[in-house]
Structure 1
């Protein structure tokens, strides 16, 4: 006997329960059918079905099983006993009255089938009067029980696939056809026959016709298979045919091709910037800073929206540096720097001011540029002249800043983050998603999302933000987390996506926990590697959003004033990290993967730690909004990963329902990782979600629920190093709602 043929018992369970379904009392036939399904323990479940041809009360059912069968045979809703060799009796545990047309469905578990097959088996349902209520026979074909294994079940690897199935009918085997994994390639070979491959299938033929009998196990190895970089849980078919074209076996098996997280380069920590003269060695605590007088004057009313715009020549700064401001107005302006925080509910504190600053009407931004023969379509205001140089001194306490520029008629913001570069390690670091703000920025007439054919392939920070009155996505999505953290007096510091690229190797030295903002989509290799490395070094990560680390960018030079994205190789697909393969998806790093942009949908609270202090079943209207992530079954799943909140919403692009899964896991380093999987944590905290996300007006109660969730997340992810109590922060100022640019 060739070594690729072997015996095996079948395995998967099919559970059927007795039932009596009323039907019209027309002439009925028994329609007896017998099926088989293999179970994981090697036994077979036989399922007998028959239609009642007479009405009456059932006494028992007699069935025949293949001669030579063994095993400990059981059923449900009735008692089973052997009445004679090869004959079983099933007697119901309750009175069962059937009408003509009712359908019997009886499973028998634990059957050990003999070799051979097919078999002709009988079914008889006997009534209490001794009359047969149904009787007939049917042919049982042994289940194929297809099993597919891979020596290296990892996408992108070279592997040997083995397809195995049980023969159901005897005959002369001439061909076995096997479905290959999607995208598989390579020079394929096998043994004991010839192998050809075409159109995603491999066909094996023995050197001569091979006589096989029922119950034999076929196992066909395929060598040299190069798997696609994309994997998943695949259903692959296997069909063996005879010389006359009869199927000797046919079925499908599951092959899981799951890529582990991609290896990342080591990001060196480097040294902290030298502390300039006049800059302190330590900064005031968050509580001390927020005890200083606040002001509501930072708010720009919508009546002042207009042509005035401004930007800074740095995304972030540190004590002792300077930053240039460029403004287009043509009228004298006041420039006021506000540090964003809680400040008695007023939301900011004035730190620096310069009035009567002359300005010009700046030239129209340029659009163009090429790189490697590709049109960049980059909108840039680098041709603007400098309006003012601003010194960042010891009065600029590290934090997030909005510079308000106003000419009395119009006003706009320019955002700036001031880092703490003293080398002190904080409990919490909150990141600003500056690269994502820039991707969605349409100032000057272009953004990444202008269209598939006209969207930018290079984005620059040398222009104002069109969103958030010049604040980018800070006011629409991120301010809430900052106000909340500062209202609680947390030991918090701040940096931006750009800083993650520069100083990512220092993350473990700067903070024990990092909060990623609600929409942090655009990541360079250094950014992604820094987060991966930080988790391995014990830094906790909470992503308060969805669609994180989804697109891959490359900063053009060390200034990080511009970045490129590859939209030329394969359109929007090649802009994604996952274009490199499943190992580079977001789920292997953070726990869940992007699904789609969604219409707003409700969240119903559960009973786990995320909802501590919140009654189970509480509805938060519109909390699922913007975009959603969920745990993809075909991507790497961290050991111990838990889904701590779930819901569903409709995709904007298709109208189909998609799940939303908020996830949490503990890495081998002990780092805790939370993925929020929706945009709205931050905006619910201040009851000001972007108006075009479709979120209903956020009630006080909804904000309280989300505040409790954010508190619970912080306490869980911080492992006791960040203690948070108390309720939701109240802002005493009326801040305009801001629409959010979307990707559709």
Structure 2
């Protein structure tokens, strides 16, 4: 590889970033496309508007992961401009709640822009829903307000910060504004996984059960009709109160993409399920962070789009491990509930309601299988099974690799194919490491796809000192398109560490934060996608 006369050394980059106070947004290496061209468009114009760090919660009180003092949720995961969104609020005592809404992005390094204040609204304590069949906790609260999304709101992830007049505590609601325009990049939030791990009101995630332990075999359902509890593992992040996992693993990528001026549009997992044609309006699809729970329809939609020429990057780990069924909200049989226990006297609830014409009311999630079937190690250990089927399509035929047992662990991200185009301009050599970038879950077992190359690999170690193996891969699609698998949940931390972000320390390993090599690799892939 010939050296550029204008090549900037890693030492120069780090020194310059430190002097400028920009450790969370490092200058790129030479050849970085965004440094060589002036981007324009909606995202660039949006991020020239004044930003603020006031989007962050200051006073948070969690009780068994729940914010009992002040909490809420939205009627839809994603919504278009011009459509209405119902917002449901709850407080421990009668109060007036206000909602300050922020769009998340770069905004001069502030990370968010204030867009609207709603309320204050009078709010009384609302009923914690009884336990329905399949341990389902689905709120049926009175709406505090119905809010029409303004026509000029750009697609993005929006946080509503809740505050009230009777105490200082705060929490979030979260929703995605989507659009139907053509764009370069589609950022998909991993909201199915947010709900799978959501314990609200205390022990009602897909990973909780009653003795004898039986819900892990698929008998637990979870509902989008409830607030997000504080995230319960790996990292103690107070800002996850009401915001799902967005501020844990996804926000750093959002911040970086908008900082660089990429033409990005946003969607939810639900949109990928219901709107396959929407994938044809972008050049590249991004799976981000902890994207563990997909429907078969999501898999088919993205797989067929890749076959048609869509580029895809799985900047994620543990993605597409579990097959889920998305159902509309359930018509809970409250007439037959035992008031003492909250359980159905008949032992059953009524069937889910039918979705509306737009398919927007998919509000209940059930785990039904394992993508690719169970490995021999998983079968031997009885990992969260058995399920009715284990012959689902293997996720590595889309991602390039898959979740392997042990699922979790930490490691350095180690280059094995430095001559690959994805490393162009990084100066990386075989065996070079990006410290702590792999965690806490990862992908291995590369698929036998023609042209697939393993560009980085190594051994992970978890808290029990069990070893596993990760493989980062790149393979060509049939139409000159490409699919990149970064093989780690932590990839976004190598791009930026914006305000409010707390990097995890899991399995005795931790990422170091923004790294110009991770930025360059990501930019190289997007450039190869024609972006």
TM-score (norm: length of structure 2): 0.74
Superposed CA deviations along residues 145-190 of structure 1, whole A, max 9, x for unmatched, are xxxxxxxxxxxxxxxxxxxxxxxxxxxxxxxxxxxxxxxxxxxxxx
Corresponding position of 1:677: 487
Change (3 A) 1:443 1:690: farther
Corresponding position of 1:663: 473
Corresponding position of 1:593: 402
Change (3 A) 1:585 1:392: same
2:323–2:369: 8 Å Cα contact kept in structure 1?
Answer: no
2:228 to 465, 471, 491: 465
Corresponding position of 1:299: 56
SS of equivalent residue, structure 1 residue 709: helix
1:479–1:683: 8 Å Cα contact kept in structure 2?
Answer: no
RMSD: 2.5
Distance 2:502 2:186 in 1: 23
Task: Indicate whether 1:548 and 2:319 are aligned.
Answer: yes
Task: Indicate whether 1:500 and 2:272 are aligned.
Answer: yes
Corresponding position of 1:487: 259
SS of equivalent residue, structure 2 residue 135: strand
Change (3 A) 1:574 1:501: farther
Distance 1:694 1:571 in 2: 20
How big is the shift at 1:450? 1.2
Corresponding position of 2:368: 566
Change (3 A) 1:436 1:697: closer
How big is the shift at 1:695? 6.7
**Superposition map of 1:621-660 within 5 A:** 621-632=435-446, 636-652=447-463, 655-660=465-470
Q: Which has the higher contact order (CA 8 A, sep 6+)?
A: 2
Change (3 A) 1:349 1:549: same
How big is the shift at 1:694? 4.5
Change (3 A) 1:590 1:404: same
- Which structure carries more helix by proportion? 2
How big is the shift at 1:671? 2.3
Distance 2:71 2:512 in 1: 33
Superposed CA deviations along residues 550-586 of structure 1, whole A, max 9, x for unmatched, are 211122233211122237999723559x8115xx111
Distance 2:55 2:480 in 1: 41
Change (3 A) 1:574 1:495: farther
Corresponding position of 1:414: 173
Corresponding position of 1:324: 86
How big is the shift at 1:648? 1.1
How big is the shift at 1:482? 0.7
Task: Indicate whether 1:359 and 2:135 are aligned.
Answer: no
Corresponding position of 1:238: none
Task: Indicate whether 1:441 and 2:198 are aligned.
Answer: yes
Task: Indicate whether 1:532 and 2:291 are aligned.
Answer: no
Change (3 A) 1:689 1:669: farther
- Which structure carries more strand by proportion? 1
Change (3 A) 1:699 1:591: closer
SS of equivalent residue, structure 1 residue 536: helix
Corresponding position of 1:190: none
1:321–1:392: 8 Å Cα contact kept in structure 2?
Answer: yes
2:410–2:510: 8 Å Cα contact kept in structure 1?
Answer: no
Distance 2:506 2:129 in 1: 29
How big is the shift at 1:626? 1.3
Distance 1:406 1:431 in 2: 28
Distance 2:60 2:279 in 1: 41
1:691 to 480, 499, 504: 504
Change (3 A) 1:284 1:334: farther
How big is the shift at 1:697? 6.0
Question: Runs ≥4 in structure 1, deviation > 6 angstroms?
Answer: 567-571
**Superposition map of 1:104-253 within 5 A:** none
Change (3 A) 1:588 1:574: farther
How big is the shift at 1:504? 1.6
Change (3 A) 1:303 1:561: closer
How big is the shift at 1:297? 0.6
**Superposition map of 1:50-69 within 5 A:** none
1:605–1:611: 8 Å Cα contact kept in structure 2?
Answer: no
Task: Indicate whether 1:368 and 2:170 are aligned.
Answer: no
Q: How many residues align?
A: 419
Change (3 A) 1:433 1:699: closer
Change (3 A) 1:303 1:314: closer
1:681–1:710: 8 Å Cα contact kept in structure 2?
Answer: no
1:707 to 496, 508, 519: 519
TM-score (norm: length of structure 1): 0.53
Distance 2:368 2:61 in 1: 38
SS of equivalent residue, structure 2 residue 143: coil
SS of equivalent residue, structure 1 residue 630: coil
How big is the shift at 1:438? 0.7
Distance 1:657 1:504 in 2: 38
Q: Which moved more, 1:661-670 or 1:353-362?
A: 353-362
How big is the shift at 1:609? 3.3
1:621–1:695: 8 Å Cα contact kept in structure 2?
Answer: no
Distance 1:324 1:642 in 2: 47
How big is the shift at 1:356? 2.2
Distance 2:495 2:508 in 1: 14
1:683–1:689: 8 Å Cα contact kept in structure 2?
Answer: no
Superposed CA deviations along residues 668-719 of structure 1, whole A, max 9, x for unmatched, are 232211111111011333334553525756546x533322232233223x1x
1:614–1:708: 8 Å Cα contact kept in structure 2?
Answer: no
Which of 1 and 2 has greater Rg? 1
Distance 1:359 1:284 in 2: 41
Corresponding position of 2:12: none
Change (3 A) 1:575 1:288: farther
Q: Structure 2 regions of 5+ residues with no counterpart?
A: 1-39, 232-239, 329-354, 356-360, 374-381
Change (3 A) 1:699 1:649: closer
